[in-house]
């Protein structure tokens, strides 16, 4: 296979809302370039990119898939991505390594929810972008309305490069404004006939061509001077101006096509070849230490792992972009994070599931290698004499969580290792064992994301699982002082057990005065791992309890604080004063005073006006202005306190404090209320008392579990 230099490699990522035609366009591009001799379809489940079993079952992309074409002396690496934001991690990692994003628009629907969600990341990465208006052959196609919706949402950088002559079911021709020709396609698509622009289209074509020339000239002073001098620019000058505009996000070229009929994909690829920037023309990569790494073949050999795929019968496949230098098969590189050396035994160009072995990659290229022992997604491998660490991909926080349990307890250990593997592939899927809740929690981007994970566990790894509602990490505390005593006495032949403890407990707060009426012998302030404090006083006088038993009393108190009396949740912010007791010269021991301390604390706690605290999250909900009222109403039904609202880029951002218990499946509810146009984020902010009726209900539920 031909080796391309860094100036003849283009990396594009196909992004867009579901059903916009990304997979179909990728298939057409591969067919046009001769990589495949028959175009597959999503319906027939034989496309190059959607090759996983789950994608065949769902009829849509779940994974980002790498492919390549060779077109007119250029290599174009293509990454086809999912349209649903449940799989946004696949989109983000692909955008991170692409040179140009191709945003697909459905000409029937215009700018959709998925388009807007993905656009946020395009802007974040500041990638050059072009728009491909697809489904021009649909009976309800409206190219002009689609362009207008894009212009309203994305601004005046929207620049029409082509427009259809006869959109709808009879579509077979468009006017190309770059070279001012009409492209007319045979009924089967493929190679078009180049024709003069019809007379009835000339006025419209000239008007749009002049707008294109002005837009190209705006991006370079020399081009502007030429434009003023000649009144126009030639095709090469236009390409130069458009490239400059794309690099600075001042030009978003718009193309029209029917991917299904293979009409327009070749012209789109020619533009990618001739105009779209390549990696060496983009801004240098940022490293963790703040320095820059230019993309050039003479630089230090450096690759960045942007995706990991673990195939049951193949092993770990690591996808990388060559950020600098040249990479050859058999080369040793050092992992900048771990310091371990990895050997690149084999190098591949991937076309879906097909591996094409090569011996070398140049700077800017995308490839894959097998069985890296100690390297994960987001890590950098570089030549041994350099330590370069590329700024990692920052994935979004999960929006939905479930508790996961195996149906067969014998699979528990197996489940842990499988979930660890899946997290390597998909960093947006987070797994943790919560000791406090005694649950394994699975955090994902949405219900579909978690459903696909369950499908994989059961169909690929053969582990049956259930999803349950996760418990809430409540806290317990007290609101007034209380006193109690407890005598633990047990006689069962031989040495018995005896310990008696008197204690007082009080709510603790910073700055409170020392307890009065007691002789303080020792004071210990314990910062609790789960938040809050236990302040423990030894006020024993006269030796009624030996000093050696005081730690056992404290241990008993702590044991009950680990499993609070009301709901079994952690107890916080309590002051305990041990001021009296009794012991027996023979029967007293550590276990006796531990039990006495625990039970005295439990009795005192119930008499101290106990209170359950719940975690409160500060949430930001981003919604279109016209849907704000419905969203606010829904938040209020979730016991939210609305803090304020801001208007950002045409969206309303609602800030509120909401109990975590009310956020269960909120992302699903928000999607329903806003037709998928809303999004939210949240972070823990504080603990606050639950309402009395909820406390009563939680207490009753806990008593039932205790009785069982």
pLDDT digits (tens, 9 = 90+) for 99-120: 999 999 999 999 887 788 889 8
Give me the CATH code for the 612-694 domain, please: 3.30.70.240
The whole-number pLDDT of residue 351 equals 95
CA-to-CA distance for 687 and 572, rounded, in angstroms? 11
pLDDT > 70 in the chain, percent: 99
The whole-number pLDDT of residue 649 equals 66
What are the residue ranges of helices labelled H in 139-198?
143-154
Residue with tokens 């996808």: 319
Rounded (5°) CA angle 396-399-401: 125
Go through the chain and tell me how many residues it has.
708
The whole-number pLDDT of residue 7 equals 87
Confidence of residue 705 (pLDDT cuts 50, 70, 90): confident
The answer on pLDDT for 492 being more than 80 is no
Per the structure block, which two tokens stand in for 517? Answer: 């009426």
Q: Could you give phi then psi for residue 21, rounded to 5 degrees? A: 105, 25
CA-to-CA distance for 234 and 426, rounded, in angstroms? 47
Give me the CATH code for the 285-382 domain, please: 2.40.30.10
CB burial string 384-422: b at 16+ within 10 A, e below: eebebbbbbbebeebbbbbbbebeeeebeeebeebbeeb
Judged by phi (left if over 0) then psi (alpha if -120 to 50, else beta), residue 203 lies in: alpha
Per the structure block, which two tokens stand in for 420? Answer: 């660890």
3 state SS of 66: strand
Give me the CATH code for the 476-604 domain, please: 3.30.230.10
User: What is the pLDDT averaged over residues 380-409?
Assistant: 91
3 state SS of 293: strand
Query: First and final CA of the chain: distance in angstroms?
Result: 68
Residue with tokens 């943790």: 432
Give me the CATH code for the 6-210+250-281 domain, please: 3.40.50.300
488 near 499, Cβ under 8 Å? yes
The whole-number pLDDT of residue 230 equals 78
The whole-number pLDDT of residue 85 equals 87
User: Fold identical between 400-468 and 612-694?
Assistant: yes
DSSP secondary structure letters along 491-546: -SSSS-EEEEEEEEEEE--TTPPPPSSS---EEEEEE-TTSSEEEEEE---TTSS-
Per the structure block, which two tokens stand in for 114? Answer: 């998925």
The answer on pLDDT for 498 being more than 80 is yes
| Nearest residue to 257 via CA among 182, 382, 158, 173 | 173
Q: CA of 206: how far to CAs of 178, 209, 217, in Å? A: 11, 5, 16
CA-to-CA distance for 463 and 53, rounded, in angstroms? 17
Strands 400-406 and 366-370: unpaired
Confidence of residue 707 (pLDDT cuts 50, 70, 90): low
3 state SS of 112: coil
Residue 295 CA to its chain's centroid (Å): 27
Residue with tokens 């041994």: 384
User: What is the pLDDT averaged over residues 659-672?
Assistant: 90
* CB neighbour class for 370 (10 Å; exposed up to 12, middle 13-18, buried from 19): middle
The whole-number pLDDT of residue 601 equals 97
CA torsion through residues 354, 427, 154, 216, sign: negative
CA-to-CA distance for 480 and 470, rounded, in angstroms? 31
pLDDT digits (tens, 9 = 90+) for 4-56: 888 899 999 999 999 999 999 999 999 999 999 999 999 999 999 999 999 99
Q: CA of 673: how far to CAs of 623, 626, 629, 630, in Å? A: 10, 12, 10, 7
354 or 228, higher pLDDT: 354
Would you give the DSSP letter of residue 391? P
Would you give the DSSP letter of residue 624? E
The whole-number pLDDT of residue 450 equals 96
Strands 65-71 and 74-80: antiparallel
User: What is the pLDDT averaged over residues 52-74?
Assistant: 93
Domain ranges for the chain: 6-210+250-281, 285-382, 400-468, 476-604, 612-694
427 near 483, Cβ under 8 Å? no
Residue 272 CA to its chain's centroid (Å): 29
3 state SS of 473: coil
The answer on pLDDT for 78 being more than 60 is yes
578 near 550, Cβ under 8 Å? yes
77 near 9, Cβ under 8 Å? yes
Per the structure block, which two tokens stand in for 250? Answer: 């001042």
Q: Could you give phi then psi for residue 34, rounded to 5 degrees? A: 85, 10
378 half-sphere exposure, CB direction, 13 A CA radius? 15
The whole-number pLDDT of residue 27 equals 96
403 near 471, Cβ under 8 Å? yes
* Number of CB atoms found within 10 A of residue 518's CB: 17
Per the structure block, which two tokens stand in for 396? Answer: 């979004």
Architecture in CATH of 400-468? 2-Layer Sandwich (3.30)
Residue with tokens 């084999």: 346
3 state SS of 214: helix
CA-to-CA distance for 62 and 190, rounded, in angstroms? 28
Confidence of residue 495 (pLDDT cuts 50, 70, 90): confident
Radius of gyration of the chain (CA): 33
pLDDT digits (tens, 9 = 90+) for 528-585: 999 999 999 999 998 999 999 999 999 999 999 999 999 999 999 999 999 999 999 9
User: What is the pLDDT averaged over residues 680-688?
Assistant: 91
| Nearest residue to 92 via CA among 119, 66, 121, 117 | 121
User: What is the pLDDT averaged over residues 123-136?
Assistant: 95
Q: What is the dihedral of CA 175, 177, 180, 186, to 10 degrees?
A: -30
The whole-number pLDDT of residue 493 equals 67
Confidence of residue 322 (pLDDT cuts 50, 70, 90): very high
The answer on pLDDT for 236 being more than 90 is no
| Nearest residue to 141 via CA among 22, 267, 257, 268 | 257
pLDDT > 90 in the chain, percent: 80
pLDDT digits (tens, 9 = 90+) for 331-361: 999 999 999 999 999 999 999 999 999 999 9
The whole-number pLDDT of residue 708 equals 55
The average confidence (pLDDT) of the chain is: 93
């Amino acid at each position: 296979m031909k080796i391309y230099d860094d100036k003849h490699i283009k990396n594009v990522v196909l992004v867009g809302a579901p059903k916009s035609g990304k997979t179909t366009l990728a298939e057409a591009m591969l067919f046009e370039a001769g990589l495949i001799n028959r175009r597959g379809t999503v319906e027939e489940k034989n496309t190059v990119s959607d090759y996983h079993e789950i994608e065949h079952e769902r009829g849509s992309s779940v994974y980002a898939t790498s492919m390549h074409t060779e077109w007119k002396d250029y290599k174009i690496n293509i990454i086809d991505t999912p349209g649903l934001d449940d799989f946004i991690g696949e989109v983000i990692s692909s955008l991170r390594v692409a040179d140009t994003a191709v945003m697909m628009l459905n000409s029937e629907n215009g700018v959709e929810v998925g388009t807007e969600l993905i656009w946020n990341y395009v802007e974040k990465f500041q990638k050059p972008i072009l728009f491909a208006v697809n489904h021009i052959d649909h009976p309800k196609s409206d190219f002009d309305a689609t362009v207008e919706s894009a212009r309203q949402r994305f601004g005046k950088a929207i620049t029409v490069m082509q427009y259809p002559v006869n959109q709808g079911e009879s579509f077979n021709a468009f006017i190309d404004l770059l070279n001012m020709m009409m492209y007319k396609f045979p009924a089967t698509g493929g190679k078009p006939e180049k024709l003069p622009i019809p007379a009835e289209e000339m006025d419209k074509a000239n008007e749009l061509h002049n707008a294109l020339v002005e837009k190209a000239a705006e991006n370079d002073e020399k081009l502007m001077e030429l434009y003023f001098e000649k009144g126009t620019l030639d095709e090469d000058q236009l390409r130069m101006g458009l490239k400059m505009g794309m690099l600075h996000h001042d030009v978003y070229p718009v193309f029209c096509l029917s991917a299904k009929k293979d009409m327009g994909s070749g012209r789109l690829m020619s533009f990618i070849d001739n105009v779209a920037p390549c990696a060496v023309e983009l801004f240098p990569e940022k490293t963790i230490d703040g320095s820059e790494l230019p993309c050039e073949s003479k630089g230090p050999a450096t690759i960045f792992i942007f995706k990991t795929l673990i195939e049951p019968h193949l092993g770990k496949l690591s996808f990388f972009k060559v950020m600098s230098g040249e990479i050859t098969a058999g080369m040793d590189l050092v992992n900048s994070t771990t310091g371990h050396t990895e050997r690149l035994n084999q190098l591949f160009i991937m076309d879906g599931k097909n591996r094409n072995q090569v011996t070398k990659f140049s700077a800017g290229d995308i490839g894959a290698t097998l069985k890296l022992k100690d390297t994960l997604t987001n890590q950098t491998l570089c030549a041994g004499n350099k330590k370069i660490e590329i700024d990692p991909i920052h994935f979004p926080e999960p929006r939905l969580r479930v508790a996961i349990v195996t149906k067969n307890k014998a699979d528990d250990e197996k489940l842990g290792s499988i979930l660890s593997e899946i997290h390597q592939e998909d960093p947006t899927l987070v797994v943790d064992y919560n000791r406090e809740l005694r649950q394994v929690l699975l955090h994902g981007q949405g219900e579909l994301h978690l459903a696909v994970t369950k499908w994989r566990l059961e169909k690929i790894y053969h582990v049956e699982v259930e999803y349950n509602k996760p418990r809430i990490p409540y806290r317990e505390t007290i609101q007034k002082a209380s006193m109690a005593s407890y005598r633990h006495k047990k006689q069962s032949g031989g040495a018995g057990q005896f310990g008696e403890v008197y204690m007082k407990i009080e709510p603790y707060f910073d700055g409170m005065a020392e307890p009065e009426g007691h002789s303080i012998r020792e004071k210990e302030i314990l910062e609790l791992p789960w938040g809050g404090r236990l302040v423990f006083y030894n006020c024993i006088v006269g030796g009624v309890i030996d000093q050696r038993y005081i730690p056992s009393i404290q241990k008993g108190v702590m044991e009950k604080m680990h499993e609070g009396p009301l709901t079994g949740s952690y107890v916080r912010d309590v002051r305990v004063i041990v001021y009296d007791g009794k012991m027996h010269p023979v029967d007293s021991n550590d276990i006796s005073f531990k039990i006495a301390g625990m039970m005295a604390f439990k009795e005192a706690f119930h008499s101290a006006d106990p209170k359950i605290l719940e975690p409160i999250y500060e949430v930001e909900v981003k919604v279109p202005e016209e849907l704000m009222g419905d969203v606010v109403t829904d938040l209020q039904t979730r016991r939210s306190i609305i803090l304020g609202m801001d208007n950002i880029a045409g969206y309303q951002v609602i800030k509120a404090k909401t109990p975590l218990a009310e956020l269960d499946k909120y992302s699903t509810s928000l999607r329903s209320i806003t037709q998928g146009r809303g999004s939210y984020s949240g972070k823990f902010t504080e603990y606050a008392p639950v309402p009395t009726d909820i406390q009563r209900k939680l207490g009753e539920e806990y008593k039932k579990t205790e009785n069982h």
